[in-house]
Structure 1
Amino acid sequence: MKKLLYIFSLLLSLSGFAQNQSIFEKANALYNQGKYAEAIDGYNAILDTGKHSSDLYFNLANAHYKLNNIAPSIFFYEKALKLAPNDADIKNNMAFAKNMTVDAIDVIPNAGISKLLNNATHIMSFDVWAKTTIALVFCFVVLFLVYYFSYSTLKKRLAFIGSVVALTLLILTLAFTFHKYNLDKKDNPAIVFAQESKVKSDPNTRSEESFRLHEGTKVQVLETYNDWSKIKLTDGKTGWLITEDIKMLKDF
C-alpha cells in the first residue's frame, strides 16, 4: 500500500512539473510577443503552486521591468539572485532596474579585519560551510585512527601531520560556519513597494517624520512592532515605517 501511495505521489509530482513547464514556456512566448502582463500572470500561476527557481524569478522580473514596475522588478531580481548569486545577467539587469529608483542612498563599507572576515565568510553558503566541516571531521577521525593503529613510523608521522592539518582546518571552517549563520540570521532584507513611504522616529503615526523612501529601495528590517517595522539603510539611517509598505525577500 505504501509503495502504491509513493508511486501515486511521484506521478502527481511529475504531472505538476510537466504542467508548470508548459505554463513557463507559454509565459515565455507571451513575453517574446510583448504581452508582458499576460506573461506575469503565467509566471505567478507557477509561483502559486509553490514552485520557484532563479529562471522563473528572473523572467518575472524582466516582465515587470518592461512594464516599468520598479519595486516588483527589483524584488524578483533580488529573489533570483538569492538562488543564483553568481549570475551575471541577473546582476546586470538588476542594475538597470535600480537606475529607475528615486532614492540615492550611500553605502558605508566595512573596513579592515571585519571586511576581510565577511568577504571570506561569504565565499560559500552556510550549507557548504557545514558540509565542509563535516567532511573535515571525517578526515580527522580517519587520520587519527591511522595514526593510532599504524605500526609504521612513517605512516604514523604522516597521519599525525595530516590529522593536525585536518583539525586546524576543521576549527577554521567551524568558525566560518557559525559566523555565516549569524550573518544570515541578521540579514533580513526587504523592498519598499509603496510609491512613497514616510519613515518615522517611533512606531506610531504621531511621531516625528525622519525621512521618506520610495518604491524599489532595499532596506534591512531590524525588528517589528504591531503594524510597524524598524528598518536600516546602507548609509546607517534607521526609522520605523508601516509594515505593509515593504515586502520581505526571505519569504519564498
Structure 2
Amino acid sequence: MVNRFITIITTGIFFFFSTYPVQGQNRSTGTLFSHNQKIKEEVDRATLFMEANKYYKEEKYKEAALLYERLIQSGVSNGQIYYNLGNSYFKMGLLGKAILSYRLAELYLPRDEDLKANLRYARQLTKDKVESKQFIPFLKGFFFWHSKFNLKELMIVFLIVHSIFWTLAIIRIFWRKEYHNLIFLINLALVVVLGFSLAIKLYNYIYNIDGVVLAKEITVRSGNGFNNTALFQLHDGAEFTIIEQGKDWIKIELSDGKRGWVEGRWVGKCQLHSWPPPANE
C-alpha cells in the first residue's frame, strides 16, 4: 500500500512538470544549435501532421495512419493525433485499433463530443457487446469534473485551490473576520474533494489499465498457456480490464465479471506509453 501511494504521488508530479500534450521533446540546452534543431524538429512534425491530414482528406487512409504513427513514435502525443489516427483506422476497417486510438484520445480530450460520438459508433459495430466499466453514475454526477477534466487539468485546478487554501490560512492569522471562517471551510472542502478525485484518477491511470482486442478473434483460456481450457472467444474491438500481466499472456476481466487469459500480442493497452500496439492478425 505504501509503495502504491508513493507511485501515485511520483506519477502525479511527473505529469504536472512534463509537457502532457506533447511527449518526448528534448529540452533546449541553451545553445544556438540545439535551439535551431528544436525548431527544425517542430517544423518537420508540423509538416508531417499536415501531410497526414492531406492524405486523410484524399481518402488515402493507410498512408495517413502511417504518418500519424510516425508522429507518435517520434515523441508527439496529443489528443488530436490519436483522434485522427482512430478515424483512419476506422476507415481501414481496423475496428480494434480505432477504438484503442479513441480511448487514448479521451485521455487528452475528455470533453470532445465528436470523439465521444465516434467511439460510441465504433463500439456499436463490435461483435461482442461488452461495455467498458464506467464511473459510478452517482459519483459521475457529483464529481462532474472527474470525467470532464484530463489528468493535468484536474491537477492544475487542485493546485490552484490548494494555494488559495494556504493563502486564506495565512490571512486568517493576521486579519480575522466572521465570514473568513466560512470561506476557509468551503475552500477546505474543495481541497479535500478535488484531492480525492485526483487520487482516484491517478490510481486508475496507473493500476486500472483497460485493454482492447486487436485481432479478428482471440481465445480466452483458463490459464496462461495454449494447453489450458478454452473458455470463450472475443473479437476485434472488445474491451476489458487488465488485471495481471505476464511475459506473453495477460489476465483480463470483462465488465460482466468473466475472467481469463489471452495472448498479449493481440491486446492494445489504453495507456499512453504503450505505443505502438500489436499488429492485427
In structure 2, how many angstroms separate the alpha carbons of the residues matched to 1:108 and 1:44? 28
Letter in 2 for 1:102: K
Question: Given the two structures, how large is their TM-score scaled by the length of structure 1?
Answer: 0.84
The aligned counterpart of 1:185 is: 206
Q: Alignment partner for residue 242 of structure 1, among 263, 275, 281?
A: 263
Letter in 2 for 1:139: I
The aligned counterpart of 1:32 is: 57
In structure 2, how many angstroms separate the alpha carbons of the residues matched to 1:5 and 1:229? 45
Answering whether residue 224 of structure 2 is matched by residue 203 of structure 1, we say yes
The aligned counterpart of 1:116 is: 138
Structure 1 gap segments, 5+ residues each? none
Answering whether residue 165 of structure 2 is matched by residue 144 of structure 1, we say no
Bigger drift between 185-194 and 135-144 goes to 135-144
Could you tell me how far 1:105 is from its partner in structure 2? 2.2
Q: Alignment partner for residue 226 of structure 1, among 226, 232, 247?
A: 247
Conservation of the 8 A alpha-carbon contact between 1:108 and 1:235: no
Relative to structure 1, the CA distance from residue 204 to residue 74 in structure 2 (aligned partners, 3 Å threshold; closer, same or farther) is same
Question: Given the two structures, how large is their TM-score scaled by the length of structure 2?
Answer: 0.76
In structure 1, how many angstroms separate the alpha carbons of the residues matched to 2:272 and 2:158? 28
Could you tell me how far 1:93 is from its partner in structure 2? 2.0
CA shift digits 1:9-63 (9 cap, x unpaired): 2322221111111122222222222222222222222222111222222222222
Relative to structure 1, the CA distance from residue 11 to residue 134 in structure 2 (aligned partners, 3 Å threshold; closer, same or farther) is same
Answering whether residue 88 of structure 2 is matched by residue 48 of structure 1, we say no
Letter in 1 for 2:109: A
Higher relative contact order (CA 8 A, sep 6+): 2
Q: Percent identity?
A: 23
Could you tell me how far 1:183 is from its partner in structure 2? 3.2
CA RMSD, Structure 1 to Structure 2 (Å): 2.5
Relative to structure 1, the CA distance from residue 48 to residue 161 in structure 2 (aligned partners, 3 Å threshold; closer, same or farther) is closer
Tell me the number of residue pairs that the alignment of Structure 1 and Structure 2 aligns. 243
Conservation of the 8 A alpha-carbon contact between 1:70 and 1:101: yes
Could you tell me how far 1:207 is from its partner in structure 2? 1.7
Q: Alignment partner for residue 12 of structure 1, among 32, 37, 52?
A: 37
Conservation of the 8 A alpha-carbon contact between 1:200 and 1:211: yes
Structure number with larger C-alpha Rg: 1
Relative to structure 1, the CA distance from residue 19 to residue 126 in structure 2 (aligned partners, 3 Å threshold; closer, same or farther) is closer
Could you tell me how far 1:118 is from its partner in structure 2? 5.0
The aligned counterpart of 2:215 is: 194
The aligned counterpart of 1:22 is: 47
